[in-house]
Structures are given as C-alpha cells and as structure tokens.
Amino acid sequence: MATKIVVPTIGESVTEGVVAAWLKQPGDWVDRDEPVLELETDKVTMEIAAPAAGVMGDHTAAEGDTVEVGAELGAIDETAPKPETAEVAAPTPEPAAAEPVTSNGAAAASAPSTPPSRTDQATPAAAATNGVVQATSLARKVAEEHGVNLASVTGTGPGGRVREQDILAYVQSGATPDAGGRRVAAGPSRVTSRERMTPLRQRVASRLVEAQQTAAMLTTFNECDMSRVMALRAAHKEAFAEKHGVGLGFMSFFVKAVVRGLKAQPNVNSYIVEGDDGKPAIQSHDYCDIAVAVASPKGLVVPVLRNAESLSFAEVESGIKDLAVRARDGKITLEEMSGGTFTITNGGIFGSLMSTPILNPPQSGILGMHAIKKRAVEDPANPGSVVIRPMMYLALSYDHRIVDGEGAVKFLVAVKDAIENPDTLLLDL
C-alpha cells in the first residue's frame, strides 16, 4: 500500500509553496515522521514529514516546482521491506587544482556565507551514495550549464547535498574547468547568474511596496543619550546572566520603552481596517505585541513578542533570543510571525547611522534603532557646556492617516525619555 505525501494546510493566508529540496530520494527507506522534503512558502520554510514508514517512491513534484496546498508530492510504499543497513565507502574525491587562484571579489546571489575553500588544499568532496554525488536536480542543471564537476564542489545542503547556491558560488569564484572538470586559474570573472526569488523574498517585496502605496508614511527623528543604559548594563550584566541564564542587551530596554510610548499614544498601536459597513475603521489594541525584525538567510522576518507589556526584562531577552535563533535557523512557525501591533528594527547592528524604516502592514508604526556613536552634545546638567556622549539616532515611521504628527513626536520623546532615564522603566514610573 502506498501512502501519499501531500502539501499540508499551513495557514489561512498560505495557498501554495515551492519544493525547496528533497531530503529523501526514490528507493530510500524513511521512518514515520522523518523529514522527507523542505517546502518554502511566503511565510516560512518548513519540513514535510513522512506520513508512514516505508520506501520512498518517485517524486511527483521536482525541486523548484510551485505546488498548491493538498497537492501530491510523492508516495511511500509501506509494503516494501526495510533494506539491511550497509555502509558504502564513498569514492575518493577528485582533487581541486593545486595552485591557488584569486577571486574577483564578487558574490553570487544567496551564496553561502562561507564559500568553498580555494586554497592549495583539495576541495572537499560532495556527499556521495553508491558512487553518485548527492545533488539537487537544479544544482545538476546549473553544473551542466557551467561545466562543473559536482564531485569537486562542497555541498551545504542536508547530508552534504550539493545545492544550486553551491554551484553558483563555485562558478563565481573566478576559475574555469579543465578537461577533467577541475578548476584552474583564469582571468577576471565575467560570470552572471540568476536564481529564483524565494516565496519569502517575494512576500517581503510585495508587502514593502504595499506599505508605500497604501499608507501615508512619514518619518520623524530624535536622538537619545545611551550613557545611563550602558552604565546600568555594564554594572549588572554578569549578575543578570548568572541569575536568568540570558544576556542583558539593549533590546529589552527599547521594548519596554516602546511599550511606554504605545500606552501614551494608543493610535501608534492601532490599525486601519475595513469596518462592518465596508468603510475604514480603527482597530485598537489593549496589548502590545512587538514584532522584532530579524535578518535570516532567506530574507527579513518579523517574529512577534506577545504581550510585551506584561514581560520582565529577563522574559523579553529570553523571548527575543529564542525567536531570533529559530528565525535564522528556519524553525520559526507561521503563528509566531503573525499579528504584531508595532515593529522594532535595529539597523545599528550592521552599522547604519540613520534610516527611514518602512511600515510593516497593517501596523501604523515602526521604530528604527541605529548605531551608537560618540558625539559632542550639550550637557543637560550644565547648559552651555559640551560633553562627549554615546548617542543613538531613533527614527519612527508612521501612518499619517491614523497617527498625527504631534502623536508621533510625543511617542518618540517618550521612548527617548525612558532610555535616558532607565530607572523609571525598572520602577515602572
């Protein structure tokens, strides 16, 4: 009896996905609930598990295919006997060129963060089974187009499987194949490449355009003195980490400061929605679900920290760390990225000095944090004198249809005051 593998129902707003990678090939034995493929949607990348134990049959959907919810992807033969476990020695990898070559410095789109080594050492071989290099069908196609020997490419996929990105990174390294498929030094690269835009990246792109086309978006700026937060953090970070098992960062201070600003200016924490009569209405929230922008390998994601107003500093830090790690690992769930009444994005970790963040629809506000830089400013304790202080620019982008300029400025001032007087946050003053 064969059990079908189908695209499961993922969420109300998700109707299709793209087969990113098959983790099991026809003829492989799979156990029940063992992941057999990765599916990319415009929200998350998820693993599809085997509905039964047995031998994998032919794939009815290839890598790169767009499939709808409920579509059949393959089948598992439950009646097939489980093969005896046997180790097959992998073939000796074909060595790469012995002499080092120089890259032109370009990087292929979506190339892995650590490209294949190109020193005088032999390039590590890709994973092989029964003498056949394990690679995705798309990777084989790209390798054939560029004349690349798959055995000389290091695979970064599951189990060392060679992916399209591995081939592109290898080609972009600026070398050309010889008759044996090995890479030898060449002149400056003129290689161009194209790859499919992931559903997540497509979704991010459409939402950013939607925000600019539908909202009356405006940005207001301020700056805050980080001296007292930095001193407080330095004095207590070791004890905090020892007691709570998580580091004390700046994000917990900003989350709590944003909560204060949202309570003072409720419109910044509201949406414009369609009312029962079909006309615009304002949806208010008595809670603060803070979305935190995280840069993942597949694109920007915004997991949500629920009821941030009721969380302690330690709970905020633990929650953000957990969401960020799982978002970067592709383990975040659709539910954890849904909702959110306000967003915080921190471009400062990448060195951004100032920016105008784009709204995350349907939210009405997003706070941009930036790099901390020492600057000459007036000493508030001694007006007329100048001191050097660690300063951060803050940017609030807001929807002017629902948030007036006065409310936006007052919100940002509330955040600034809370950061410059962190004791008021700790004492809930």
At 287 the pLDDT is 94
The verdict on whether 399 is a catalytic residue reads no
Residue of 33, 120, 329, 404 marked catalytic: 404
Task: Look up the pTM and report it.
Answer: 0.62
Question: Which residues on neighbouring strands pair with residue 305, listed in sequence order?
Answer: 290
At 98 the pLDDT is 35
Place of tokens 């939607």: 210
At 339 the pLDDT is 85
Question: Which residues on neighbouring strands pair with residue 176, listed in sequence order?
Answer: 184
At 97 the pLDDT is 37
CA–CA gap between residue 323 and residue 344 (Å, rounded) = 14
The verdict on whether 244 is a catalytic residue reads no
- Among candidates 270, 206, 223, 292, which has minimal Cα distance to 398? 270
Q: Extract the residue ranges of the chain whose pLDDT is less than 70.
A: 1, 11-13, 42-43, 85-132, 137, 158-159, 173-189
At 179 the pLDDT is 45
With the CA atoms of 240, 300, 223 and 386 taken in that order, what torsion angle do they form, in degrees rounded to the nearest 10? 70
At 187 the pLDDT is 58
The DSSP code for 135 is: B
Residue of 400, 417, 423, 428 marked catalytic: 400
CA 246, 247, 248, 250 torsion-angle sign:
negative
- Among candidates 226, 400, 246, which has minimal Cα distance to 323? 246
At 102 the pLDDT is 35
The DSSP code for 350 is: G
At 156 the pLDDT is 78
Q: Radius of gyration (Cα) for the chain, nearest Å?
A: 26
* CB environment 305-316: b (16+ within 10 A), e (fewer): beebbebebbbb
